[in-house]
Structure 1
Amino acid sequence: MKGDYQDLVDEISALLGAPATLENRDFRLIAFGAHDSDDDLVMDPVRTRSILTRQSTAAVRSWFEAYGITRATGPVHIPAAPDAGVFRGRICLPVRYRGIVQGYVWLLDQEPGPGAEALAAAMEVAERIGVLLAEEAKAGAGLSREFRAVLTAGRGWQQDMAVAALRVALGPGAEGLHAAVCVAPWTGEAPASVPGAAAVCVVPGDAADANGVPGGSGAGPGGSGALAVLLRLRSTDALAPALTAVNRLLPRAGAAGAAGPGPGAAPDAAPGPTAGLSDPVRTLAELPAAWAQATAAARTAAARPRLGPVAQWSAIGPYRMLAALAAGPADDPATRALLGPAHRELARTAEVFLDCAGQAGRAAAALGIHRQTLYYRLGRVEQLTGLDLDDGEDRLLLHMALKASRLHG
């Protein structure tokens, strides 16, 4: 498919006598013609960024869209704007299919410029590109549907059937290493493309909640869910490209708040969307387990920002076990009162004290309080819970309850 796009872009470049670039409707680069000019203005900052990073910024997108390219059915001439990094004017050829914009072909506007006949011929090529993009989008929608089914199906034969359908939809791409990614909260539609992704979908809020995803149906106006991405990997040791792709998704997750912090953990509250990356898997049958890892890692990143905003399942330590044990909010009778909203400061004091291995001096310093204040608060914790903080098992119970409450805050 990429070769088809490149051939069509080269055809437009030849028709108009200028190098062309093709971007999808999200302004992500698909193909570009060769640049053989010595003119430095040919590669202005906007064009350079588009080619090197394969995407444009939101500001650049808004600037170009202000010229009506999303509604245009013919070539649009856009003037230069040096202040915006656009040193040369552009000609935009909207790429449409059945009236719906699929992408854009861009050329530098130069004197005397292409004639009407050449532009008409280039628009015919753009229509052929639109057909390809629409077909690819349709195939992507099918993949999203099958991918979502795997993540939301119950265990047993339903899940087995969903995995089999996804395997067929992916074709040869079903083989090899993959990792699951969870980005939450996520509002709106899934992005049209994610570098290195085999499939992308949005998991609805109710299903996201069921999987312990931060920012489920209760997060954001009208509810929100989580973005799920099935990433292709080259090897189990080469996760850097995957992490780069995930980091690029976070700014697109919107301004929806992440899940509320655990009791007394306001200073640790995550400022926005978080993401989790599973361990690599070799078969699609392992995908449900990988999704559980990714959602647990995303929830951990929301609860413990020092581990995020992108947390790897392999790096979240005790939260791996807590995620497996805590199917729902912590509700042990001994810790129930402490975990209520009235005792956030006491809960945070107890958590820091236990994180510091019961060393009062370290805990008091971390909390910024006097040691006597710490002892007073710990005494109150013992009164509320009936636990003895000198007893190892009581400490373990309290520590687990406090950490689990973060995952389901």
Structure 2
Amino acid sequence: MKGDYQELVDEISELLGEPATLENRDFGLIAFGAHDSDDDSAMDPVRTRSILTRKSTPAVRAWFEGFGITRATGPVRIPAAPDAGVFRDRICLPVRHRGVVLGYVWLLDAEPGPTHEQLAAAMEVAGRIGALLSDEERAGADLSRELRAALTAERGWQYDMALAALRSALGPDADGLHALVCVAPWPTEDAPSARTVPGASAVCTLPWRWGEAAGPAADGPRTDGRPGAARGTGGSRGDGRPGGAHGRAEAPGARGDTYPLGPAGSAEGPGGGRALAVLVRLRAADVLDPALAAADRVRGTAGAGAVAGLAAPRRGLAELDAAWWEATAATRAALAEPRLGPLARWSAIGPYRLLTALPAAPPDPVVAPLLQPAHGELARTAEVFLDHAGQAGRTAAALGIHRQTLYYRLSRVEALTGLDLDDGEHRLLLHMALKAAKL
């Protein structure tokens, strides 16, 4: 980046035939052109101090700003003031981007002085410097507040305003390709700086009860294509935050063979009820390496048991809420089903794409007896049997048991539930109930 500034300053020096100096809006030196003149007045005390100390004094700053350079949109001529240490007239080229002054290019003004055409060409280069300064400022900005507001705002004008603020903060990057990553459980309320996460545009933490549904709306899609907002207890808000009243006391599926039925109304899931959201820039929708690298980086700092979910890539921010829902759904699926983790893509979580959209509810009464801790082995046997499309040989091999043992266990499953495992709809009910219990 520093080299880019130097090249642009040298370009202005070449255009105007005078060595140029670039400072930021706080009068901190960024780059300067070579001074090869024998004229001692070319290096007056103000310019010398600026180059040697890489900054100007508050008095010098106030004196120059008195000529209106902070408001100017074109070149400003400033007369010499020997008493202030300014021995030569100056030309100031304000460096602006999107109407905001970000710095100044300084040149000595000598007769006959640059032409109008030369100054116009120099201002065009100053505009390019402004774009670079804006990009650098944005890259160093902490956009956690803007991202959190966009992911937690209620549907309607609040969401639209939050999205507009995030779009403004991101600048041109807002219209590019992005992928949203969710990491949970996240151990603290603090988020890492976006500058420490490769490819990240913004990072924030969010409260999240991942024993509850966080799916699309119960009241149908919006006319703008985003899922609608869910209504009522036990439903989902549709913005990636659960709205239900029922939780689970532990992260289901941690052992792969238990189906916990923690108390309804549990306040928080693991990790104190927090998740991390990371908005990652992409160059192409089919090249997810930046998102995968960012997810791996932050997941590695989250502690044991943390998993990540990755939403489908999208261009622009219009569907940011839908992307957050996908990312949280994939994370919930990875927490429930370890084989999907530690990084689960929304596109690869299979039936959990539907199950994570359902509001939290007690298990089906027919299946509930099978979900008691005492019957964990039977529940796991039934799930593996259904995962293998009811093929006894493959199921027995996967479980490491004899076929007769498998048949005995399945008969007990039927006795407990009253379901007929030869009936397709009964199988479907049991299969979905077992998967949903892990969530």
**Same-fold call, TM cutoff 0.5:** yes
Please list the CA deviations of residues 47-89 of structure 1 after superposition, one character each: whole Å capped at 9, or x if unmatched: xxxxxxxxxxxxxxxxxxxxxxxxxxxxxxxxxxxxxxxxxxx
What SS does the aligned partner of 1:291 have?
Answer: helix
TM-score of the aligned structures, taking structure 1 as reference length: 0.58
Alpha-carbon distance in structure 2 between the residues aligned to 1:403 and 1:243? 26
Q: Within the alignment, does 1:343 sit opposite 2:375 as a pair?
A: yes
Give me the identity figure in percent: 65
Which residue identity does 2:338 align to in structure 1? P
Alpha-carbon distance change, 329 to 373 in structure 1, aligned in 2, over 3 angstroms: farther
- Give the 3 Å change call, closer, same or farther, for CA 153–178 of structure 1 in structure 2: same
- Cα displacement string for residues 192-239 of structure 1 (whole angstroms, at most 9, x for unaligned residues): 23111111000124589563799693314xx14111001111011111
The one of 363, 376, 379 aligned to 2:395: 363
Q: Amino acid of the residue matched to residue 174 of structure 1? A: A
Whichever structure has more helix as a proportion of its residues is: 1
5+ residue gaps, structure 2, are: 7-133, 215-240, 243-249, 252-266
Residues 1:330 and 1:197: Cα distance change in structure 2 (over 3 Å): farther
Contact 2:185 2:275 in 1 (8 A): yes
Take 1:207 and 1:161, find their aligned partners in 2: how far apart are those partners? Answer: 27
Aligned to 1:191, the other structure's residue is in SS state coil
Shift of 1:374: 1.4
Give the partner amino acid of 1:233: L
The question of 1:244 aligning with 2:293 is answered yes
Counterpart of 2:141 in 1: which secondary structure? helix
Equivalent position amino acid for 2:183 in 1: V
Query: Residue in 2 aligned with 1:144?
Result: 144
**CA 1:363–1:206: 2 relative to 1, 3 Å:** closer
Q: RMSD of the alignment, in Å?
A: 2.9
Query: 1:139 corresponds to which letter in structure 2?
Result: A
| Alpha-carbon distance change, 207 to 318 in structure 1, aligned in 2, over 3 angstroms | closer
Amino acid in the other structure paired with 1:372:
Q
| Pair 1:196 & 2:206 matched | no
Change (3 A) 1:178 1:136: closer
| Mapped contact 1:329–1:405 kept (Cα < 8 A) | no
Map of 1:292-371 to 2, 5 A cutoff?
292-324=325-357, 326-328=358-360, 331-371=363-403
Superposition deviation, residue 383 in structure 1: 1.8
Q: Which whole-Å CA distance do the structure 1 matches of 2:2 and 2:322 have between them?
A: 35
CA distance in 2, matches of 1:340, 1:6: 67
Counterpart amino acid of residue 318 in structure 2: A
Displacement of 1:294:
0.7
CA distance in 1, matches of 2:362, 2:157: 31
Question: How far apart are residue 291 of structure 1 and its match?
Answer: 0.7
Give, in whole Å, the separation in 2 of the partners of 1:207 and 1:150: 19
Compared CA separation, residues 360 and 208, structure 1 to 2 (3 A) = closer
1:321 Cα shift?
Answer: 2.3
Task: Please show how residues 156-171 of structure 1 align to structure 2 within 5 Å.
Answer: 156-171=156-171
Question: Is the Cα contact below 8 Å between 1:330 and 1:404 reproduced in 2?
Answer: no
Would the aligned equivalents of 1:152 and 1:207 in 2 still touch at CA under 8 Å?
Answer: no
CA distance in 1, matches of 2:406, 2:156: 50
Q: State how 1:368-387 maps to structure 2 within 5 Å.
A: 368-387=400-419
Deviation at 1:137, TM superposition (A): 9.4
User: Is the CA contact (8 Å cut-off) linking 1:146 and 1:166 kept in structure 2?
Assistant: yes
What TM-score, normalized by structure 2, do the two folds share? 0.54
Tell me, in whole angstroms, the C-alpha distance in 1 between the residues paired with 2:412 and 2:345.
36
- Given that 2:280 and 2:290 are in contact with CA atoms closer than 8 Å, whether structure 1 keeps it comes out as no
Residues 1:210 and 1:366: Cα distance change in structure 2 (over 3 Å): closer
Any conservation in 2 of the 1:329–1:404 contact (CA below 8 Å)?
no
| Structure index of larger Rg | 2
Contact 1:208 1:226 (C-alpha < 8 Å) held by counterparts: no
Matched, 1:187 2:179: no
Q: One-letter code of the match for 2:181?
A: V
- Structure 1 residues without counterparts, runs of 5 or longer: 8-131, 256-271
Distance across 2 between alignment mates of 1:386 and 1:402: 15
Matched, 1:388 2:420: yes
C-alpha distance in structure 2 between counterparts of 1:304 and 1:400, whole Å: 13
Match of 1:234 in 2: 283
* Aligned residue identity for 1:369: I
The aligned counterpart of 1:284 is 317
Q: 2:435 & 2:320 partners in 1: Cα distance?
A: 26
Aligned length: 260
Counterpart residue number, 1:116: none
- Which residue identity is paired with 1:219? P
**For residues 317 and 278 of structure 1, what CA distance do their matches in structure 2 show?**
14
User: Which residues of 2 match residues 248-263 of structure 1 at below 5 A?
Assistant: 248-255=297-304
- Residues 1:208 and 1:159: Cα distance change in structure 2 (over 3 Å): farther
**Structure 1 residue 304: Cα displacement:** 2.5
Q: Is the 8 A contact 2:179 2:314 kept in 1?
A: yes
Distance in 1, matches of 2:212 and 2:386, equals 29
